[in-house]
Amino acid sequence: MAERLFGVETEYAIAGVSGGAEMDREQLLERIMAHARRQLVQLPDLNSSGGFFLGNAARFYGDCGAHPEFCTPEVAHPWDAVRYVEAGHRILAGLAASVESASPPGTRIFCFRGNVDYSGSNSTWGCHESYMHRISQDALQPQIVPHLVTRLIYTGAGGFNPLAQGLEFTLAPRMAHFRRLVTQSSTSERGIWHSKSESLCSGYSRLHVLCGESLCSETAAYLKIGTTALIVAMADAGHQPGGGVQLADPLAAMHEVAADATCRKPLRMADGGYRTAISIQRHYLMHAEGHLRDGFMPSWAPEVCRRWRELLDKLEHAPSSVDKTLDWGIKHALYANHARGLNLRWDDLPLLNLVIDQLVAVLAARKDPEKAMPLELAIAPQRRMPKDIAPFAPLLREHGCDWEDLRTLLDCRKEFFEIDTRFGQLGPEGIFQALDRASVLNHRIGERESIEDAVTQPPATGRAQLRGRVIQRLAASGNARCDWQCVIDYSSGQVLDLSNPFASRESWSPLRPQHDDAHLSRAEEQGPYERRQDAADRILTGDFAGAEAIVRSLLAEQFMMPSSHCHLARVLLMTGREAEAREQIAAAWAIRRDAPSYVVARMIFFQLVFAMLDGAGINPIVARIRAALAESGAHLDWTIRPMLDHLRPRLGETNYEFMRALADALSDASALPDLDEFPQWRDTATPPPA
């Protein structure tokens, strides 16, 4: 039995370029999920339509804001958490490469384990943690908050303050978006302490940590999980590891820690004294080392404490010595070196940032709106220096700087932001990946083989092992669904109970109505994209009535009308209502200008089906679909095979085989050459552009 369980949720930023234009992110996410549906061993997620639980027991889905998210399975060792997070990176990178190869030449897909957006959108991507515990939240909060605030000295991703006007290096860029001590939301008004209490298992509560960041360093990721889990274990056992280190203002302290690359800034304590982040971390380490032989401590605790102590010693004696080990240390050295190459003195940044903030305030305070201008223009060398800005020149000279230093900083600011974004890029072009391949870093914890194993295999302990094993067994059936606490096999009418997080044997029972009722009640809370995918999943499991109800509700809401009309037509054809299906496709065709190119191709596919059912000539329609498939973005995974199988007796074998090949080509551009085997395709010319 595992001693305690935890997991990590990673949100990814994605972007794509095709034909010289930026790809729509919603459509890009759909393409990634479509390739996941086709390539990965998975069962549909019972609670998040369009998402999956994978054969390694992890969860993969598209989250709000059109970004993919990977949740590791429940694990019992910090190294397992690290390797399953890395497995998620590899899975997503593989899917992105697959989408890219199936797209027109010149298409590029980018995925990032980033934390903040520097474009001014104020977007941030979370890396949340979950820890199982029994102690009440009220009792746990004071024990853990000082740790969450000060662990940034080794868990910070490094980068720049995305809300600053200048170029402010920070240990933890995502912390700029945290404005509260306590929050109930994970997407707005972010706080250090998340009061969410959804346990996802029986008998335990779940600590859901929001104030973490996606990391590249294995050492940093290992200690982030390991140290936090030990503190939760001590609190769970009735000890008070946070006693004596309560902060006067945890939120202010967190921002101070993030801004201090020396790790030595004194933080005001609740008792009126001052302690550094390193001192507070040593306090927690001392408590952990004092309980290493206690029965409640996990077997891996001594190794975590050893690495914890070694790192705190490095940070205390020479913070720069982590420049090959921790994310923020690697970045700090990288950016300081890049600044020297730009003739920008890194040590001058605090002064230059201060002047920039003051200048921006002066420009914003101008009473005449016509005199408002961006700072770059106000200090341009060809302009006469405005009177309200000129007084800052002596301050710059006093510290050996001048206006040119300020201009250099503003000119290269975006360059640094781009480097920071590319640092966490997945795949061989990522900067961290390149540094790691060059063997110039010293951050690794475990064996590479175990990471590759985590891509396909579940952990060895707890219910995650059962979930992964059952998913691998049922994935090919196409008639089962999964969530954290159960697997439902609709073919056998059985449900696997996974509510016990330490379950070691499969426990199946008859499927009862309340399982589907609970699913329906959760579906009502889903967004339209999730509901549309839910309808598609229900078609595959034979729940045509449920699928139809969802699609009609989407049409009533006028959600992506052309696509929704096509979804409804599919249900209608499979339930013997062909006349209504034709009406739906006619309605979609009338508003085809509002549809993406892949939906237009699907409309023509339906028109071709109807022509075949009528025994009419198909050459003009085949010509139209040839032209449609030549458009950018015309291919997207489409599970239309069940409908074709249903219509097979009426289509006849020749038409059925052709339509199967055509459906494959609509899903994947690489299948287009297979159509040349069919005279219906080969003998029809593509019409010239209108």
| Of the candidates 90, 70, 95, 98, the residue with the CA atom closest to the CA atom of residue 7 | 70
- Residue 543 catalytic? no
What per-residue confidence (pLDDT) applies to 345?
92
Q: Would you give the DSSP letter of residue 381?
A: T
Residue 602 lies in a domain: yes
**Contact residues for 393 (Cβ-Cβ < 8 A; gap 6+):** 385, 402, 403
Residue that finishes a domain, picked among 373, 395, 414: 414
**Contact residues for 226 (Cβ-Cβ < 8 A; gap 6+):** 78, 300, 304, 307, 308
Residue 501 lies in a domain: yes
> For residue 118, which phi and psi values (nearest 5 degrees)?
-95, 10
Q: Quick check: 295 pLDDT over 70?
A: yes
pLDDT band at 686; cut points 50, 70, 90: low
Q: Mean pLDDT throughout 672-690?
A: 79
Residues 348, 444: Cα–Cα separation, whole Å: 33
Which residues constitute the domain of residue 400?
Answer: 341-414
Residue 592: exposure state from Cβ atoms within 10 A (0-12, 13-18, ≥19): middle
Q: Quick check: 2 pLDDT over 50?
A: no
CB 219 within 8 A of CB 445: yes
Q: Quick check: 486 pLDDT over 70?
A: yes
Q: Quick check: 152 pLDDT over 50?
A: yes
Residue that is written with structure tokens 């940590």 in the block: 209
What is the per-residue pLDDT across 642-667, written as a single tens digit (0 to 9) for each?
Answer: 899 889 999 999 999 999 999 999 98
- Residue 96 sits in the same domain as residue 45: yes
- Residue 655 sits in the same domain as residue 555: yes
SS (H, E, C) 129-168: EEEEECCCHHHHHHHHHHHHHHCHHHHCCCEECCCCCCCC
> For residue 372, which phi and psi values (nearest 5 degrees)?
-70, 140
What is the per-residue pLDDT across 566-616, written as a single tens digit (0 to 9) for each?
Answer: 999 999 999 999 999 999 999 999 999 888 889 999 999 999 999 999 999
- Structure tokens belonging to residue 491: 């073919």
Q: Quick check: 65 pLDDT over 80?
A: no
Helix, coil or strand: residue 13: strand
- Residue 505 sits in the same domain as residue 588: no
CB 59 within 8 A of CB 44: no
- Residue 531 sits in the same domain as residue 678: yes
Domain with residue 662: its CATH number is 1.25.40
CB 216 within 8 A of CB 423: yes
Residue 98 lies in a domain: yes
Residue 558 lies in a domain: yes
Lowest mean pLDDT among 185-189, 264-268, 275-279, 538-542: 185-189
Residue that is written with structure tokens 């977007």 in the block: 123
CB 18 within 8 A of CB 107: yes
- Residue 490 sits in the same domain as residue 627: no
CB 624 within 8 A of CB 674: no
CB 403 within 8 A of CB 381: yes
- Residue 528 sits in the same domain as residue 500: no
> For residue 251, which phi and psi values (nearest 5 degrees)?
-65, -45
- Residue 464 sits in the same domain as residue 551: no
- Residue 460 sits in the same domain as residue 584: no
Residue that finishes a domain, picked among 414, 439, 459: 414
CA distances, 78 to each of 226, 291, 467 (Å): 5, 18, 20
Which string of b and e fits 368-393 if b means at least 16 CB within 10 Å?
A: eeeeeeebeebbeeeeeeeeebeebe
CB 117 within 8 A of CB 173: no
pLDDT band at 516; cut points 50, 70, 90: low
Residue 236 lies in a domain: no
Residue that finishes a domain, picked among 513, 538, 559: 513
pLDDT band at 254; cut points 50, 70, 90: very high
Q: What is the pTM of this model?
A: 0.80
Which string of b and e fits 432-446 if b means at least 16 CB within 10 Å?
A: bbebbeeeebebebb
Higher pLDDT, 114 or 47: 114
What per-residue confidence (pLDDT) applies to 62?
87
* Active-site position among 24, 45, 63, 420: 63
Q: Mean pLDDT throughout 87-115?
A: 94
Residue 591 lies in a domain: yes
- Residue 526 sits in the same domain as residue 674: yes
The upper half-sphere exposure of residue 595, i.e. CA atoms within 13 Å in the direction of its Cβ, equals 24
Residues 39, 29: Cα–Cα separation, whole Å: 15
Residues 646, 546: Cα–Cα separation, whole Å: 19
Residue 137 lies in a domain: no
CB 203 within 8 A of CB 419: no
- Secondary structure element (H or E) that encloses residue 183, with its range: strand 180-183
- Residue 491 sits in the same domain as residue 529: no
Residue 658 lies in a domain: yes
- Residue 575 sits in the same domain as residue 660: yes
- Residue 105 sits in the same domain as residue 67: yes
Q: Quick check: 690 pLDDT over 60?
A: no
What is the per-residue pLDDT across 396-451, written as a single tens digit (0 to 9) for each?
Answer: 999 999 999 999 999 999 999 999 999 999 999 999 999 999 999 999 998 888 99
Q: Quick check: 687 pLDDT over 70?
A: no
Total number of domains constituting the chain: 3
What is the per-residue pLDDT across 181-216, written as a single tens digit (0 to 9) for each?
Answer: 998 766 667 899 988 777 788 889 999 999 999 999
Q: Which amino acid is it at 601?
A: A
